Chain A
Amino acid sequence: MSKQHIEKEPLFHITKREDLPLMYRAGIRTAAIVLAVIVCMILSMILIGINPFKMLGSMFAGSFGTKRRIWKFAKDLAVLLCISLAVTPAFRMKFWNIGAEGQSLIGALASVACIIGLGGKIPNWLLLIIMLLSSVVIGAVWGVIPAICKALWNTNETLFTLMMNYIATFIVSYFLMLWTPSGSSTLGMLNFGYLPKLGHDYFLLILVVAILTIGLYVYLNYSKHGYEISVVGESQKTALYIGINVKKVIIRTMTISGALCGLAGFLIVSALDHSVTTATIGGQGFTAIMVSWLAKFDPIKMALTSFLITFLDQGASQISTDFNIDSAFPSVIVGIIIFFIIGCEFFINYKINFRHKAAKEA
């Protein structure tokens, strides 16, 4: 490094910012999304040669074009929101549960197992209850194993929960092979255990998730458990000081987190798929982490962030249909936009102070 270079005052330095007014925060986030969409439009124009404005139209049409699409949109939103809600109690406690994918999948598997074992032998309502219970229990078990190790030995939960995802995946493929003697490993739609249709196929699903959103909001903000979760997340030292049993809270909260993931698995099976594959959750367990994080772990805001992500996803899918681009394109678009959204948080939390001394000397 040359000496002259050293003598310069740094071009800028970064300081942490106190709370920015809501308007500014909203402004920065909107700007990031707009910028991201523009980048995507330019990219698609250059790479695939599609008209950027038609593309934009296609994007809106994807989510809201027809009544059917609106329902589909609502359904996808509900599923994503459900898993995002599920991971949230753990995140509030700063327990990095990235195992939602596996917890939901194993929950879905449990429901399917109930259908295969009991379908047609017992009344549908009873079957549904048994499905629900087994999904919730197995999801909770999947979530609580890493939590117990964390509580006892401080085992790294990020890595542990990540590994549990793949164990769940392989267990699902094991059962698929067992259940399909032909070796095809595809189960097909099962005939039992359908969630009742109230008005519309998806209505009950959406209702359950809406109730869950409010319920979790209340639980986290107004219950004693929720208060304990916040204290443990903020400072374990404080938690000990006021006599909170941190281990108990970690285990209890992860049980809830896992159970809610299991619930998501149950809902997917009973209301939507009526089957299970290794791709049943399809990465939504990971997307949910982003949704929850972007919403700052607030269930109500999470409805907005999952709206946004679902909108992007559906829009991008529509683009690939309308312009006959292959199906991988949406995840590229969504990926780019998410990077922008993740990146813009920086400008909300930090302030860049540019060099001012030069101006003074002049």
Chain B
Amino acid sequence: MKELALELKHITKTFGSVVANHDVSLDVYKGEILAILGENGCGKTTLMNMIAGIYFPDEGEVIVNGEPVIIRSPKDAFRYKIGMVHQHFKLVDIFTAGENIVLGDASKERFNLNEVNNRVAEITAKYGFSIDPKKKIYEMSVSEKQTVEIIKVLYRNADILILDEPTAVLTPQETRNLFEVLKKMRADGKSIIIITHKLHEVLEISDRVAVLRKGEHIATVDTKDATENSLTEMMVGQKVSLNIERTEPVNSVVRLKVDNLSATDDEGLKVLDNISFEARSGEILGIAGIAGSGQRELLEAIAGLYPLNEGDIIYNNPKTGDTVDLRDKTPLQIRNLGVRLSFVPEDRLGMGLVGNMNITDNMMLRSYRRGKSFFVDRARPKALATEIIDSLQVNTPGVGTAVRKLSGGNVQKVLVGREIAAAPTVLMVAYPVRGLDINSSYTIYNLLNKQKENGVSVIFVGEDLDVLLELCDRIVVINSGRITGICDGRTVTKEEVGLLMTKSHTNHKEVSHE
């Protein structure tokens, strides 16, 4: 029988009125890979942060190697040989990899970076990855940064490693390399906890799977006994056939033509590479892809928020019949051209709404310029706020409540409600149901369908393939900034889309050479 490395008993953690974890008990053995599976917002990360000393549990007990421990800080966590690789890397940008790795290590005061680098070389050789310890973090790629994070933890001789969504930012090739490393670590007797919501990865790499749902621990099962179906069932509760309504597009015409878009990020890496597609009126166009494949940049480029190197965005105005190129226009110029473009961004409180402002003031974010008056008109936004609260059943004390105090679903209703109220001809939504409960999700699907019926061209960026397949008329699949396929939402299979999403890089290079 294997030895227990870590036990969690009856852990509860609340933030204000939000219960992030409720009575969670879990154990991890030595030399195993445990996957923590759950939808976005189910409390996976919060739970792990408590083991890593970032948060302190309100209630419950943590036991390491059979002894109850108190982990108040990451330092305590390291003392118990627990290390966590966060989803958002915690690295000092202007330091070198070596400096970051040695950071916080409590051994002797004078340190010799060469010694550090030798140890790093030792670790990389043992588990099979490569890194240049003298390279500055701000010069590194995402996967290099992740490697630094993992070495950082190993450098401290951690026996329990927690990885928060490590594959979200990796290419399939990089993911495979990572998994090889993890297997070597397991063979070395280390316990690895990997947080993910990708089922195929869970099945591929883990020994056991713990499923969390809405902050509660549902079950832990051996991976060999699990299937995608059984895990999904645990993740979402009883098996829900989505049954999202989908009507045939009527009088569909090309509304927006995206032609050869290319863009690079701050570090000069290509984030959009030759993207071309058409969005038609009266249809929902899905955009599928693993997180960070260029979805955000694509929508922001169309909305006038992301600079393009190449390409055109042609809009056909249904009222006038004119066509305009939206490239290199600011959001304001786009509006002034009479283009009714609404955009529900992924970052709701950081971009779409202002958390500290009340609902009324958030309603007028886009419309406050209306009229010639020097002063803002709050009567109309207030009426709109009341209307949205009523029609979408937003749970709030009133229109004067700060948006940040609302729950995720209600925040999203406010945002989507506002964007739809602008009577758009093109509506772009990014992950509109992320973190929302089932009921709120259906409210959103219905809203989108209604827009479609009204002849709006809806562009829907989603992460849940089942939703994409049931909701969208056509699906554009992007992978590392390139389109790998445009499919008919009614006939394509989940496997086909999945394959297009994860196609390896080498294929693309061949394509791009043509």
Contact = CB atoms under 8 A, between A and B. Distances in A.
Chain A in direct contact with chain B (Cβ < 8 angstroms): yes
B460 interface: no
B356 A9 contact: no
Contacts of A10: 56, 70, 72
A222 B360 CA distance: 13
B347 A242 contact: no
B350 A237 contact: yes
B383 interface: no
Contacts of A225: 374
Contacts of B357: 230-231, 234
Interface string B300-334: 00011100000000000000000000000011111
A62 B335 CA distance: 59
Interface residues of A, number: 24
A227 interface: yes
B365 A242 contact: yes
Contacts of B373: 224
A245 B332 CA distance: 9
A223 interface: yes
Contacts of A244: 332
Contacts of B304: 243
A227 B368 CA distance: 8
Given A6-B76, A9-B70, A223-B375, A235 B351 contact: yes
A47 B411 CA distance: 57
A235 B375 contact: no
B72 A231 contact: no
B331 A238 contact: no
Chain A contact surface mostly? helix
A8 B369 contact: no
B343 interface: yes
Contact of B376 (A18, A224, A234): A224
Interface in A237-284: 237-238, 240-245
Nearest to B72: A10
B69 interface: yes
Interface in A188-233: 222-225, 227, 230-231
Nearest to A231: B354
A6 B79 contact: yes
Interface in A1-39: 6-10, 13, 18
Given A10-B56, A234-B354, A224 B70 contact: no
Nearest to A237: B351
A18 B347 contact: no
B331 A241 contact: yes
A10 B376 CA distance: 50
Interface in B175-204: none
A18 B16 CA distance: 8
A7 B80 CA distance: 12
Contacts of A243: 304, 330-335
Contact of B369 (A224, A240, A241): A224
Interface string A293-313: 000000000000000000000
A13 B13 CA distance: 13
Interface in B328-372: 330-335, 343, 345, 347, 350-357, 361, 364-366, 368-369
Q: Which of A13, A242, A245 has the most CB of B within 10 A?
A: A242
Given A238-B354, A243-B335, A223 B365 contact: no
B356 to A, nearest CB: 6
A243 B374 CA distance: 18
Contacts of B352: 238, 241
B508 interface: no
Contacts of B16: 18
A224 B305 contact: no
B331 A7 contact: no
B76 A227 contact: no
B126 interface: no
B380 interface: no
Contacts of A245: 330, 332
A234 B351 contact: no
Nearest to B69: A7
B405 interface: yes
B357 to A, nearest CB: 7
Contact of B350 (A18, A227, A230, A238): A238
A222 B351 contact: no
Contact of A234 (B79, B330, B332, B355): B355
B61 to A, nearest CB: 10
B343 A241 contact: yes
Nearest to A218: B375
Contact of B375 (A224, A234, A237, A242): A224
A238 B305 contact: no
B365 A222 contact: no
A240 B303 CA distance: 10
Contact of B351 (A7, A18, A224, A241): A241
A230 B353 CA distance: 12
Interface in A141-173: none
B332 A223 contact: no
A234 B365 CA distance: 12
A237 B304 CA distance: 13
A213 to B, nearest CB: 18
Contacts of B79: 6
A227 B347 CA distance: 21
A235 B79 CA distance: 39
B405 A18 contact: yes
A242 B374 contact: no
A162 B103 CA distance: 34
A243 B331 CA distance: 5
Nearest to A234: B354
Nearest to B334: A243
Contacts of B333: 243
B345 A241 contact: yes
Nearest 3 interchain pairs by C-beta: A243-B332, A243-B331, A234-B354
19 contacts: A10-B70, A13-B56, A222-B376, A223-B375, A224-B375, A227-B368, A231-B365, A235-B354, A237-B350, A238-B351, A238-B365, A240-B331, A241-B305, A241-B351, A242-B331, A242-B365, A243-B304, A243-B331, A243-B334
